[in-house]
């Protein structure tokens, strides 16, 4: 009985404490930019879930943003893993690409947006692109390192049995690097949310990020905080989905790691 | 391994070739009229402006300021990320108890924190530093958490069976295994920190390269702006070279570095 | 020359100067304060001014409210918004005012000649870029479209930074853009034409930007506020009567291309932030959907 | 070579009572050990043999405190084992992965000593002596991944030997070395055992080795594991590769144990099942 | 069981000429192999023995095309080896790490067959047969990390056997299994060899095993390695665990090879160095 509750208690314990602290510390707050949590929560429903539901900010702004986020994320995942496998497998290719990739990696997305606008316009493709470029890096870097770190004995085995290029990638490289790829994908998830906001800070008309920034600019601070909370909640929700997927994809790894810790 | 020549070509030569390709593309696209040169200058225009920039003391001061903020932010994020990552990663209870909070906090964009940061720390370096630390800390933390999980059970059993103290286990088993992950975390965090240093300077107005970019942008000085952007890109490349050099020394034993003995 | 003036180490006989930080944005509008500092107007009032550059109100308003900056420059509409949300703000002087001249103002709506847009009425049904939604740009554009007899609600507005607008208009990403100097001139040089002078056309005395402080500071430090206001008024007058000095001082904190600098129009600078002008802005905002009810702007003035 | 003697008495009694281990990870639960009850006296050297997959490694890992038992109890010197007890050294079957690739050979051997609090100078001699004893005097500064399989295994042995434990658990420690080296290492273990009075549990597949080394040979059944027979080895304390192996008693024990392992592989779970082709002497009585 | 017979002729001649291998990684260069010249005829079964660290694994990896030689040439069926040649199977010494942990046992065995283009139905029988042959008919769906060391090693053997190669290279493949299983696996290798006519190079530390299995036993010196002696095994083609091992010739060869390995360990690099205690018959003449 307690066993079933344990994960839920663990998952909610610390957030409850932190929210309690936030509540207590801001209860008396008169600071304009740091309003009492009570006010923020009061604002929450009113801001995002107005009636009718179909016209609420939630449907109008949050859902399209999340759709763009997922699109950008999946594009990044595909490109990151594909490119990472290629770069991780070839020393020459790595040397060739790395400086250029590192160059682009260090450029702040806000200054990239104007250039992207020239090529991709100001609609959804540009924003998906911004999200994808941001998510790409952790996935790419982790994939490269994961591929490089594959056990040489496994690599030799695959070579000795003359696995073809495709099987090599499918059965050895991607699987072998998957623990690190998953780490990268996990990083990318939250970066994607951040870039979703950034991509909507420029040349936007709707979206969660746009709404949060508008609230900020029009000094609607409790509303802004409620938006930030939504961002966090999206993060938690996506990470739950992500964890379920991970547990399926990395079942072997988790089993492998726990096998010798008592076989349970 | 198709030819001997390809093998002999050193890494930096490949890197230079890559950079040359990029420059050529950036030169060709505006020249070919794909976009207006006024809005996307050619690489030669940008480099020309950059060279001109390098002559001004203002530029070097700004570069110094940016690097200071960046270094301090990255240092704090790295220390905190590694320390907390190892502690949380080693204790399954802490791991489970903090997971949801971490997932909640990670996607909160630093830019949304600007008003709070300014309110708390003003528009000086501390505000930008807050953004930088906040954003890059998670990068390190997540990597370190994964790294701690990746410890070879046989190695860790060996350490346990010889009753290594906790600290010895961290130092001799957990840390070396985590190091490759932490290196990736460092590389990710280094560029995120750089991006947020510049963004913070851009949006908050902390002195540094970002402020110069913002000024050039507001003035419509396109080539000048991109010259500064190129500088941040080059900083990224330099940082990566540094990280790679550190890695080659610290991870000589790792399969990815020791490679196939010739 | 990076936006801050050297602090006077030895008070030249006049005793110690009071250090004061002012948050400004690197745009043409704030040239008079740079000029004023250069001319020593602030020192005369006993102030040692440091000009702090920031990109926009997101950083300046909190910094002024927290007391980190003593004064700031901001777009007037943003301050009305902030005041509506309950921030205690006091407007001290005007910052930048429309020239009121159709054909020679510092902000306007531009479109490419082949876009089929020639007048404000043609904007109906089009996409127009503004730097911030629900602010002075879309309000005044709606006003001119309305005046021209077209439906202001049919205009679609998109947010975009001013620097990016010339490229977006030229590249067809938007049909038109409301744009201010120096980017207005850049856009014109790139082949765009002005289809409406929305500032001048909606209110010849449109109060675009102002200098402000917090009500807290007015209460705590009235002498400093008075000194700043006096010096600021002097600076604004000086700037208005010395356009060449203005164009020269721009080089110290911007990188505007010389050709653009010579061609562009400067705002009108006058010291008084008139209650009427502020209220007109608020009313425009209320009419075009920025506020639910007409705001009371009297609390914004000292 | 003086040992730091953390406990006055060397060696400790190891007692396994009703041990059962079921792996419940992914897939069906696997009952590795059904019921094991035996004891190892303080300072005794017991060899464990049994078919591949019988549960020898599982048993060893439970005794080492590296893995909890499903039920039953293991006590060392009277104290129940809940984690790795002090003064114990283990040589794991996966020797390659038990060496830290980021440390040189000498550092690998040195580290447990450092953790035990041995002084630097003493450590240096101990490390050198242990590496020399396993024939690796010349590779102090090499890294484990620069060594052959057999050399890696010998590093793991040297690490355990240098540690001078009170209890030594070894899981097929000589599987990867050549015949000659194997003989030398067998003698090394015996001399270590006699010198330090350490309690040794030694898992091996080499039946000759089990008999040559052990005072008792524990023959395990196939999975789920029980003790098939606890064979006493009456070969005396002084042993020698040439004479001991030529002893007729050695040959008899060898045939006996070999038949037991064969029977175990066929699925025998009691002595009666085993249908031995020669008369059985009840273990212990032969002495 | 029909083999897909990718090449008409089974087995291929393996020729090693002046092979030299120096490791030049971190630290001092290590000369693992000084000079090795020998040949393995098509369809021959050659065992390799030598002291631990001699360079047996190095030799095998060079022959498998997994590692370039420093100098010298290896040809297979006349063609120089530059990468793993087709129709070759290898059982590596690090058996545990050579199994894909993300695949079940059956998938591990199946994968190379799939790559070879064997049909699904045929693959299924081959996988089952191979796993049954190594005594693992009941763990198809387990993951390698759920198996004991010896079981893992047998999976690697089953993988190579199911592949039905023309050349089979095995590096101490039975090190982790019990005596009885070892005998069975030895017979498995011999029957595989006879049935398919495959060329086999078999590295082992067990001298009895080398003699029982091989038509020739190649004894290597210690590092830097040369061939100490190429011993012909005149035991005929039909062998049997009981009778062959009881053959006096077997005992003679065993003593001989054992002395050679001993001598190699002491540092002997030529037959003359070896100071054998019994008359030497020049390898090959005994037949
Ligand atoms: N993590 C695990 N999950 C499930 N079953 C396991 C696990 N580890 C071991 N087993 C099973 O437990 C049994 C005993 O394994 P163990 O490693 O103890 O055998 P062993 O006697 O050491 O064999 P070997 O001589 O081959 O090393 C085996 O049948 C194995 O399949
Ligand atoms: N990567 C490497 N770098 C340097 N030296 C190496 C490397 N790999 C092997 N060696 C050395 O080469 C020699 C031969 O190694 P190899 O693995 O071939 O021996 P082996 O005959 O297979 O020994 P064993 O029977 O113990 O497995 C050893 O002395 C070893 O130290
Ligand atoms: Mg075992
Ligand atoms: Mg070997």
CATH number of residue E57's parent domain: 3.40.50.300
Interface of C with B in 243-262 (CB under 8 A): 253-257, 260
Nearest residue in chain C measured CA to CA from A221: C85
pLDDT tens digits, one per residue of D72-92 = 999 998 889 888 888 889 999
How many angstroms from the chain centroid is the CA of residue E220?
Answer: 14
Do D158 and D176 lie in a common domain?
A: no
Which single residue is written with the structure tokens 């049919």? C154
User: C71 — contact with chain B (CB < 8 Å)?
Assistant: no
Please answer yes or no on whether B261 and E25 come within 8 Å at the CB atom.
yes
Residue E287 belongs to some domain of the structure: no
Domain end (from E118, E146, E164): E164
So what's the pLDDT on residue A260? 56
Do E211 and E256 lie in a common domain?
A: yes
Residue A34 CB: number of other CB atoms within 10 A? 17
How do beta strands C176-180 and C127-130 pair? parallel
Taking the C-alpha atoms of residue D138 and residue A79, their distance in angstroms, rounded to an integer, is: 49
Mean pLDDT in chain D? 86
So what's the pLDDT on residue D60? 92
Average pLDDT over residues E173-188: 90
User: A247 — contact with chain D (CB < 8 Å)?
Assistant: no
Give the model's confidence band at D155: pLDDT under 50 very low, under 70 low, under 90 confident, else very high: very high
CATH superfamily for B40-258 is MetI-like (1.10.3720.10)
C210 DSSP assignment: E
Where is pLDDT greater, at C113 or C56? C113
Do D137 and D157 lie in a common domain?
A: yes
Please answer yes or no on whether E145 and A178 come within 8 Å at the CB atom.
no
Smallest Cα distance from E153 to chain B, Å: 18
Ligand 2 nearest-atom number relative to CA E220: 21
Where is pLDDT greater, at E270 or D118? D118
Smallest Cα distance from B252 to chain D, Å: 8
Task: Using CB atoms within 10 Å of the CB of residue B25, give its burial: 0 to 12 exposed, 13 to 18 middle, 19+ buried.
Answer: exposed
**Whether B144 contacts B86, CB under 8 Å:** yes
pLDDT tens digits, one per residue of E201-219 = 999 999 999 999 999 999 9
User: B155 — contact with chain D (CB < 8 Å)?
Assistant: yes
Average pLDDT over residues B203-213: 81
Does residue B52 register a pLDDT over 60?
yes
So what's the pLDDT on residue B1? 37
Mean pLDDT in chain B? 82
Find the D149 Cα to ligand 2 centroid distance in Å.
Answer: 7
Please answer yes or no on whether D111 and B172 come within 8 Å at the CB atom.
yes
Among the partner-chain residues C55, C167, C253, the one whose CB lies closest to the CB of B203 is C55
Ligand 1 nearest-atom number relative to CA D21: 12
Do D131 and D263 lie in a common domain?
A: no
Which residues on A lie below 8 Å from E97 (Cβ)?
151, 153-154
Q: Picking from A132-141, B208-217, D258-267, E90-99, which range would have the lowest pLDDT averaged per residue?
A: B208-217
Which residues on B lie below 8 Å from D81 (Cβ)?
none
Taking the C-alpha atoms of residue C202 and residue C199, their distance in angstroms, rounded to an integer, is: 5
Which residues on B lie below 8 Å from C162 (Cβ)?
218
So what's the pLDDT on residue C239? 86
pLDDT tens digits, one per residue of A17-60 = 888 888 887 777 777 667 788 777 887 777 777 766 666 777 77
Q: What is the residue with the minimal CA distance to atom 25 of ligand 2?
A: E52
Mean pLDDT in chain C? 82
D270 lines ligand 2 (CB under 6 A): no
Taking the C-alpha atoms of residue C75 and residue C164, their distance in angstroms, rounded to an integer, is: 19
Does residue C25 register a pLDDT over 90?
no
Find the D145 Cα to ligand 2 centroid distance in Å.
Answer: 9
3-state secondary structure of B120: helix
Task: Using CB atoms within 10 Å of the CB of residue C120, give its burial: 0 to 12 exposed, 13 to 18 middle, 19+ buried.
Answer: buried
E32 lines ligand 2 (CB under 6 A): yes
Does residue B3 register a pLDDT over 60?
no
Domain that holds residue D205: 14-33+41-87+166-273
User: B167 — contact with chain D (CB < 8 Å)?
Assistant: no
Does residue B82 register a pLDDT over 90?
yes
3-state secondary structure of A157: helix
Q: Report the b/e string of B75-93 with b at 16+ CB within 10 A.
A: ebbbeebbebbbebbbeee
Q: Which long-range contacts (CB under 8 A, 24 or more apart) does C42-47 make?
A: C42/C228, C42/C231, C42/C235, C43/C8, C43/C14, C43/C17, C44/C231, C45/C227, C45/C228, C45/C230, C45/C231, C46/C14, C46/C15, C46/C17, C46/C18, C46/C227, C47/C17, C47/C18, C47/C19, C47/C20, C47/C224, C47/C227, C47/C228, C47/C231
Residue D6 belongs to some domain of the structure: no
Do E51 and E109 lie in a common domain?
A: no
Residue D75 belongs to some domain of the structure: yes
pLDDT tens digits, one per residue of D174-229 = 988 888 889 999 999 998 888 888 999 999 999 999 999 999 999 999 888 999 88
Smallest Cα distance from B251 to chain E, Å: 12
E54 lines ligand 2 (CB under 6 A): yes
Please answer yes or no on whether B107 and A118 come within 8 Å at the CB atom.
no
Structural domain total, chain E: 2
Do E74 and E124 lie in a common domain?
A: no
Ligand 2 site-directed mutation target among D99, D137, D140, D148, most atoms within 8 Å of CB? D148
Residue E2 belongs to some domain of the structure: no
Q: Report domain extents, chain B.
A: 40-258
Smallest Cα distance from B261 to chain E, Å: 5
Which residues on C lie below 8 Å from B38 (Cβ)?
166-167, 186, 190
pLDDT tens digits, one per residue of A224-254 = 888 888 888 888 888 888 888 888 888 888 8
- Interface pTM (ipTM) of the complex? 0.84
E219 contacts: CB under 8 Å, gap ≥ 6: E49, E50, E227, E228, E229, E230, E231, E257, E260, E261, E264
Taking the C-alpha atoms of residue D38 and residue D220, their distance in angstroms, rounded to an integer, is: 11
Here the tokens at position D213 are 């080394």
Find the B161 Cα to ligand 4 centroid distance in Å.
Answer: 27
Here the tokens at position C247 are 């164009």
Does residue D285 register a pLDDT over 50?
no
Does residue B199 register a pLDDT over 60?
yes
Q: Which chains touch C (3 or more CB pairs under 8 A)?
A: A, B
Share of chain C above pLDDT 70, in %: 93
Here the tokens at position C274 are 């008139």
Give the number of D-E residue pairs with CB atoms closer than 8 Å. 117
Residue D287 belongs to some domain of the structure: no
E221 lines ligand 2 (CB under 6 A): no
Give the model's confidence band at D123: pLDDT under 50 very low, under 70 low, under 90 confident, else very high: very high
Mean pLDDT in chain A? 82
User: A108 — contact with chain D (CB < 8 Å)?
Assistant: no
Give the model's confidence band at E276: pLDDT under 50 very low, under 70 low, under 90 confident, else very high: low
Among the partner-chain residues A157, A162, A255, the one whose CB lies closest to the CB of E92 is A157
Q: Which ligand is nearest to the CA of D92?
A: 3
Do E109 and E235 lie in a common domain?
A: no
Average pLDDT over residues E131-156: 91
How do beta strands D45-49 and D199-203 pair? parallel
Nearest residue in chain A measured CA to CA from B214: A111
Please answer yes or no on whether B161 and D102 come within 8 Å at the CB atom.
no
Please answer yes or no on whether E111 and A154 come within 8 Å at the CB atom.
no
Domain end (from E164, E198, E213): E164
Nearest residue in chain A measured CA to CA from D97: A151
pLDDT tens digits, one per residue of A48-98 = 777 666 667 777 778 888 899 999 999 999 999 999 999 988 888 888 888
Phi/psi for B227 (5° steps) reads: -60, -40
Nearest residue in chain E measured CA to CA from A168: E115
3-state secondary structure of B184: helix
Average pLDDT over residues E239-258: 88
Average pLDDT over residues C212-228: 86
For chain A, list the domains and their CATH numbers: 56-210 (1.10.3720.10)
Do D78 and D219 lie in a common domain?
A: yes
E274 lines ligand 2 (CB under 6 A): no
Does residue D3 register a pLDDT over 50?
no
User: A260 — contact with chain D (CB < 8 Å)?
Assistant: yes
Q: Give the length of chain E.
A: 287
So what's the pLDDT on residue D20? 93
Give the model's confidence band at D278: pLDDT under 50 very low, under 70 low, under 90 confident, else very high: low
So what's the pLDDT on residue B85? 93
Residue E1 belongs to some domain of the structure: no
Domain end (from D142, D164, D186): D164
Q: Which of A248, A250, A227, A235 is nearest to A191 (CA)?
A: A235
Do E81 and E180 lie in a common domain?
A: yes
User: B258 — contact with chain E (CB < 8 Å)?
Assistant: yes
Q: Report the b/e string of E185-209 with b at 16+ CB within 10 A.
A: bbebbbebbeebebbbbbbbbbbbb
**Whether E56 contacts E210, CB under 8 Å:** no
Residue E9 belongs to some domain of the structure: no
Smallest Cα distance from A217 to chain D, Å: 53
Do E264 and E170 lie in a common domain?
A: yes
Phi/psi for E80 (5° steps) reads: -65, 145
Q: Give the length of chain D.
A: 287
Which residues on B lie below 8 Å from E67 (Cβ)?
260-261
Taking the C-alpha atoms of residue E274 and residue E259, their distance in angstroms, rounded to an integer, is: 8
So what's the pLDDT on residue C12? 44
Give the model's confidence band at C264: pLDDT under 50 very low, under 70 low, under 90 confident, else very high: confident
Ligand 1 nearest-atom number relative to CA D50: 21
So what's the pLDDT on residue C124? 85
So what's the pLDDT on residue E104? 92
What one-character-per-residue DSSP string does D39-78 give? EE-TT-EEEEE--TTSSHHHHHHHHTTSS--SEEEEEETT
Q: Which residues line ligand 1 (CB under 6 A)?
A: A 259, 263; D 23, 25, 30, 32, 50, 52-58, 93, 223; E 146-151, 176
Give the number of B-C residue pairs with CB atoms closer than 8 Å. 96
pTM of the model: 0.85
Do E118 and E26 lie in a common domain?
A: no
Residue E281 belongs to some domain of the structure: no
Give the model's confidence band at A214: pLDDT under 50 very low, under 70 low, under 90 confident, else very high: confident
**Dihedral in degrees, nearest 10, Cα atoms E59, E60, E66, E72:** 30
Q: Picking from C145-154, D277-286, E135-144, which range would have the lowest pLDDT averaged per residue?
A: D277-286
Do D214 and D193 lie in a common domain?
A: yes
Q: Give the length of chain B.
A: 262
Among the partner-chain residues B21, B107, B254, the one whose CB lies closest to the CB of A234 is B107
Find the E151 Cα to ligand 1 centroid distance in Å.
Answer: 8
């Amino acid at each position: 009985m307690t066993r079933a509750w344990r994960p839920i208690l663990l998952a909610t314990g610390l957030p409850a404490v932190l929210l309690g602290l936030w509540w207590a510390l801001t209860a008396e707050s008169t600071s304009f930019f740091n309003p009492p949590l009570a006010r923020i929560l009061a604002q929450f429903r009113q801001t995002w879930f107005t009636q009718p539901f179909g016209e609420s900010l939630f449907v109008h702004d949050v859902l399209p943003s999340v759709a763009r986020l997922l699109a950008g994320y999946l594009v990044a995942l595909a490109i990151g893993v594909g490119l990472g496998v290629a770069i991780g497998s070839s020393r020459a290719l790595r040397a060739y690409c790395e400086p250029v990739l590192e160059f682009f990696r260090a450029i702040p997305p806000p200054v990239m947006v104007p250039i992207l606008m020239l090529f991709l316009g100001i609609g959804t493709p540009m924003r998906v692109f911004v999200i994808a470029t941001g998510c790409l890096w952790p996935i790419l870097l982790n994939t490269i390192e994961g591929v490089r770190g594959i056990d040489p004995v496994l690599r030799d085995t695959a070579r000795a049995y003359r696995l073809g290029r495709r099987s090599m990638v499918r059965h050895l490289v991607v699987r072998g690097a998957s623990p690190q790829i998953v780490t990268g994908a996990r990083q990318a998830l939250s970066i994607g949310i951040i870039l979703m906001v950034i991509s909507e800070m420029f040349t936007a008309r709707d979206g969660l990020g746009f709404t949060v920034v508008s609230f900020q600019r029009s000094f609607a601070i409790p509303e802004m905080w409620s938006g930030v909370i939504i961002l966090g909640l999206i993060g938690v929700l996506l990470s739950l989905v992500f964890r379920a997927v991970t547990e399926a994809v990395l079942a072997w790894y988790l089993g492998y790691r726990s096998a010798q810790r008592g076989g349970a | 391994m198709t030819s001997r020549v390809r093998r002999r070509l050193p890494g930096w030569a490949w890197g230079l070739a890559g950079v040359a390709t990029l420059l050529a593309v950036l030169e060709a696209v505006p020249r070919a009229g794909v976009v207006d040169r006024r809005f996307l200058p050619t690489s030669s225009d940008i480099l020309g402006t950059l060279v001109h920039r390098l002559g001004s003391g203002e530029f070097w001061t700004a570069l110094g300021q940016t690097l200071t903020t960046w270094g301090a932010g990255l240092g704090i994020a790295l220390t905190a990320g590694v320390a907390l990552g190892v502690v949380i990663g080693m204790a399954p209870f802490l791991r489970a108890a903090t997971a949801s909070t971490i997932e909640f906090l990670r996607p909160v964009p630093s830019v949304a924190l600007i008003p709070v940061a300014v309110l708390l720390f003003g528009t000086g370096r501390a505000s930008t530093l807050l953004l930088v630390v906040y954003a890059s800390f998670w990068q390190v933390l997540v990597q370190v958490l994964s790294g701690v999980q990746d410890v070879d059970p046989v190695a860790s059993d060996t350490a346990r069976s010889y009753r290594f103290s906790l600290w010895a286990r961290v130092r001799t088993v957990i840390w070396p295994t985590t190091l490759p992950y932490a290196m990736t975390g460092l590389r990710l965090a280094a560029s995120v920190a750089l991006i947020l240093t510049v963004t913070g300077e851009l949006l908050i107005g902390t002195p540094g390269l970002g402020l110069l970019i913002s000024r050039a942008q507001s003035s419509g000085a396109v080539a000048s702006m991109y010259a500064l952007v190129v500088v941040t890109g080059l900083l990224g490349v330099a940082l990566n070279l540094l990280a790679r050099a550190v890695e080659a020394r610290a991870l000589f034993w790792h399969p990815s570095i020791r490679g196939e003995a010739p | 020359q990076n936006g801050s003036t050297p602090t006077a180490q030895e008070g030249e006989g006049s005793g110690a100067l009071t250090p004061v930080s002012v948050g400004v944005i690197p745009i043409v509008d704030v040239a008079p304060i740079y000029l004023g500092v250069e001319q020593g107007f602030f020192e005369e009032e006993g102030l040692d001014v440091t000009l702090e550059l920031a990109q926009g109100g997101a950083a300046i308003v909190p910094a002024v409210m927290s007391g980190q900056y003593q004064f700031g420059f901001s777009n007037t509409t943003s301050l009305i918004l902030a005041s509506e949300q309950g921030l205690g703000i006091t407007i001290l002087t005007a910052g930048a005012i429309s020239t009121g001249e159709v054909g020679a103002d510092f902000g306007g709506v531009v479109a490419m000649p082949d876009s089929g847009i020639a007048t404000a009425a043609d904007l109906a049904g089009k996409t127009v870029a503004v730097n911030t939604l629900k602010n002075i740009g879309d309000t005044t554009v709606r006003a001119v479209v309305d005046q021209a007899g077209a439906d202001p609600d049919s205009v679609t507005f998109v947010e975009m930074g001013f620097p990016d607008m010339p490229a977006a208009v030229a590249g067809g990403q938007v049909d038109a853009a409301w744009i201010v100097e120096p980017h207005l001139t850049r856009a014109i040089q790139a082949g765009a034409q002005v289809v409406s002078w929305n500032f001048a056309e909606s209110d010849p005395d449109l109060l675009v930007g102002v200098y402000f402080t917090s009500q807290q500071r007015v209460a705590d430090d009235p002498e400093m506020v008075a000194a700043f206001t006096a010096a600021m008024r002097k600076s604004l007058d000086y700037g208005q009567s010395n356009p060449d000095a203005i164009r020269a001082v721009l080089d110290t904190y911007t990188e505007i291309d010389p050709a653009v600098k010579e061609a562009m129009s400067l705002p009108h600078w006058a010291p008084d932030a008139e209650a009427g002008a502020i209220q007109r802005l608020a009313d425009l905002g209320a009419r075009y959907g920025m506020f639910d009810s007409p705001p009371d702007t009297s609390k914004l003035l000292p | 070579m003086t040992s730091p003697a953390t406990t006055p008495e060397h060696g400790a009694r190891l007692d396994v009572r009703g041990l059962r281990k079921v792996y419940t990870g992914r897939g069906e639960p696997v009952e590795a050990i059904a019921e094991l009850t035996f004891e190892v006296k303080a300072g005794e050297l017991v060899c464990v043999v049994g078919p591949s997959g019988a549960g020898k490694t599982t048993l060893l890992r439970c005794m080492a405190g590296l893995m909890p038992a499903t039920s039953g109890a293991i006590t060392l010197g009277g104290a129940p084992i809940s984690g790795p007890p002090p003064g114990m050294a283990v040589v794991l079957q996966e020797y390659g992965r038990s060496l830290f690739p980021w440390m040189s050979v000498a550092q690998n051997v040195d580290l447990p000593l450092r953790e035990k609090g041995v002084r630097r100078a003493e450590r240096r001699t101990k490390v050198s002596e242990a590496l020399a004893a396993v024939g690796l005097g010349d590779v102090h500064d090499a890294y484990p991944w620069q060594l052959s399989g057999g050399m890696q295994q010998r590093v793991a042995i040297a690490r355990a030997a240098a540690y001078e434990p009170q209890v030594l658990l070894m899981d097929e420690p000589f599987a990867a070395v050549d015949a000659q080296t194997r003989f030398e290492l067998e003698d090394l273990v015996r001399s270590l055992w006699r010198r330090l009075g350490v309690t040794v549990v030694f898992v091996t597949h080499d039946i000759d080795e089990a008999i040559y080394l052990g005072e008792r040979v524990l023959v395990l059944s196939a999975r789920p594991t029980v003790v098939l027979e606890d064979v006493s080895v009456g070969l005396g304390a002084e042993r020698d590769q040439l004479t001991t192996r030529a002893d007729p008693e050695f040959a008899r024990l060898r045939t006996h144990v070999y038949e037991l392992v064969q029977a175990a592989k066929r699925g025998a779970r009691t002595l009666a099942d085993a249908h031995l082709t020669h008369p059985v002497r009840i273990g212990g009585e032969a002495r």
